[in-house]
Amino acid sequence: MRTLHIIIAAAAVCFSTIAGAGFIRESRPVKDSSLSLERTDGEIVKGLAVTTPKDVAKAERIMEIMASREGSTADRMIVAAKEMLGTDYVASTLEAGDKEELRVYTTKTDCIIFVETCLNMARTVGAGHTDFETLSSMVASTRYRGRISSYADRIHYTTEWIRRGEAAGIMKDLTLEIGGSEFPKPINFMSTHYKSYKHLRDADTDPVAAENRRIISEVEKKLNEKPQSWIPAAKIKSVESKIKTGDIIGFMTTTDGLDIGHVAIAYVHDGKVGFIHASQGGGLVMEQPQSIADYVLKVRKGCQGIKVVRPL
């Protein structure tokens, strides 16, 4: 579902750069895996994505490892997560450039790009492919609503990302099923804090930015037609046994108008229900020392609960 230019927007960074293209269950592979287009900025276009040769090589190496092992989407996700350990945390990588482009990286990441990339590497391998071109089409299918032409085409709220993923059969929100409850918190952060976002901040004078803000405001209204769900911080310990390795964990923020401020991949081992995430504080992808419950209660400030989503 993990944002940008001022401190109040920092909690939104992970999830105000998330997206999904209508969540296509399968994406058609690009047949010629040898083709790439060099750009003047030092990056390349490979498949549908702007990337670098190092990112392509790392992604394909990880997918080859994943393909050599049996398992579910969740099992593959945790393999990818472990292979990504130590990757540098870099915020706002999707905001580079002046126009909207699909960007896929594995040598730098933030919290949502980490989860989204692991999910789509797992989907790519599950579809019988290990090439970057197919991965890029998978990422496009979970980041945009069907086209890649404007900032507003991207899915910016994790709640929408999850709901679209459920509708496409890619994931299932287990929050209510394992003991959570409805949480009627309005979503409006981006439209009300538009000056915090590179592609919205000139909405008062620029027609393109104004249109992006209008579309995002309409998305917020649609999301608010249905209440969110959550597991309150005090209740997490009692439901931890129902969380499985590979589940996607959304950390609900106390920030007004925002749904989720951080995401991670659950990793259950040695009696601990923990997680792997791209940590802004740690500066890299890491396994968090604390359990999910202890992290929420003792470490992460401004977190009031979690969502639990299972990849299918």
Report pLDDT for 244. Answer: 98
Q: What is the pLDDT of residue 66?
A: 98
Phi/psi-derived region of residue 269, left when phi > 0, alpha when psi is between -120 and 50, beta in every other case: beta
Q: How open is the CA angle 48-49-55, to the nearest 5 degrees?
A: 135
Q: Could you identify the residue written with the tokens 């870099």?
A: 90
Average pLDDT, the chain: 90
> What CATH class has 7-164?
mainly alpha
162 close to 171: Cβ distance less than 8 angstroms: yes
> Taking the chain, what is the end-to-end CA distance rounded to the nearest angstrom?
16
Average of per-residue pLDDT across 163-176: 97
What ranges in 68-131 are assigned the alpha helix state H?
73-83, 111-126
Give helix then strand counts, H and E, for the chain. Answer: 10, 13
Predicted pLDDT of residue 34: 52
250 φ, ψ (degrees, to nearest 5): -105, 125
What would the mean pLDDT of 193-210 be, rounded to a whole number?
Answer: 97
- Predicted TM-score (pTM) above 0.85: yes
**3 pLDDT exceeds 60?**
no
Residue-wise over 278-305: b if at least 16 C-beta within 10 A, else e? bbbeeebbbbbeebbbbbbeeebeebbb
The structural domains of the chain, with segments of one domain joined by +, span 7-164, 173-311
Q: Which helix (H) or strand (E) holds 172?
A: strand 171-173
User: What pLDDT does residue 162 have?
Assistant: 97
Widest distance between CA atoms in the chain: 56
Contact (CB, 8 A) for 288 and 276: yes
Per CATH, 7-164 and 173-311 having the same topology is answered no
Q: What is the pLDDT of residues 66-125, one digit of tens each?
A: 999 999 999 999 999 999 999 999 999 999 888 999 999 999 999 999 999 999 999 999
For the domain covering 173-311, report its CATH number: 2.30.260.10
How far, in Å, are 30, 274, 292, 295 from residue 305 at the CA level? Answer: 40, 15, 10, 11
Query: DSSP 3-state assignment of 234?
Result: helix
State the Cα–Cα distance between residues 264 and 195, nearest whole angstrom.
Answer: 28
**Which residue from 274, 268, 270 is spatially nearest to 296, judged by alpha carbons?**
274
Question: Residue 29 — pLDDT band, cuts 50, 70, 90?
Answer: very low
Span 121-143, pLDDT tens digits: 999 999 999 999 999 999 999 99
What pLDDT, on a 0 to 100 scale, did the predictor assign at position 240? 97
